[in-house]
Amino acid sequence: MPRVTIVIPAKNEAGNIGPLVRGIHQNCQADAPEIIVVDDASTDGTAAEVASVAAQLAGVRLLQHPRSAGQSAAVHSGVLAATAPVCATLDGDGQNPPTELPGLYAPLIAPDADPLLGLVAGQRVKRQDSWSKKIASRLANRLRVTLLNDGTRDTGCGLKAFRRDAFLALPYFNHMHRYLPALFVRDGWWVAHVDVRHQAREHGRSNYSNFGRALAGVVDLAGVAWLMRRRKTAHASEPARATPGEAQ
């Protein structure tokens, strides 16, 4: 069984996905990861590109949604199908360099891994995006930090690594991938942050608009804030009892 599964949500990334998967295989081969690409009902040749790479490289798997369900659903589908206890994610557009992956999942698969560490989250530096996207992201991050106090500068970064069982125990909802640090903290896990590089998109275009993301973000943020307030933690213990046959 692999020690780490790398999950890539992808939609209409035919020009990016092949080089990305090959880059992951090259940079992470020392850990022999399982690589799962979740095609979110692409209308281009994304699935065919992944199938071609999978025929050449061991450990590459393709999952397909029959209809588009969004990035969080794609990540969730990939994690459910993963066979490793630790999962890492990155976006399918090629803007997250595969060279950053080992630094994210290494603390979680190390023999002396901290048992309380649940998530290692990447934070982009020198973002290679349009000025409008960077400004929208900066404003959204400031609002999120104010309301959630999750200690994360850039929760929208696709580069993350986490314990599979801890992720699957989180409340699942659309767009949850943008709030993983807060959700892991909510469940009592420690979250670490790592600065990661960012590179320009070479093919295709983003599946998100700034306006659409802003509208969804307002609703999502209110919901996550509610979840954070409603979380109640309790630690149950079982009372000692006599073993069978023990004298009373």
3 state SS of 9: strand
pLDDT digits (tens, 9 = 90+) for 119-137: 999 998 876 555 656 565 6
| CB-based burial, 92-106: b 16+ in 10 Å, e otherwise | bbbbbbbebbbebbb
- What are the extents of the domains in the chain? 4-230
- The per-residue pLDDT for 210 is 47
Is domain 4-230 given the CATH code 3.90.550.10 in the classification? yes
- The per-residue pLDDT for 244 is 60
- The per-residue pLDDT for 55 is 97
What global pTM score does this model have? 0.79
- How high is the mean pLDDT in each 10-residue block of the chain (248 residues)? 96 96 96 97 97 96 97 97 98 94 97 97 75 60 64 83 97 89 92 89 58 55 66 58 58
- The per-residue pLDDT for 11 is 96
Please measure the distance between the N-terminal and C-terminal CA atoms of the chain and give it in whole angstroms: 48
Is residue 75 within 8 A of residue 89, CB to CB? The reply is yes
The tokens for 211 are 């306006």
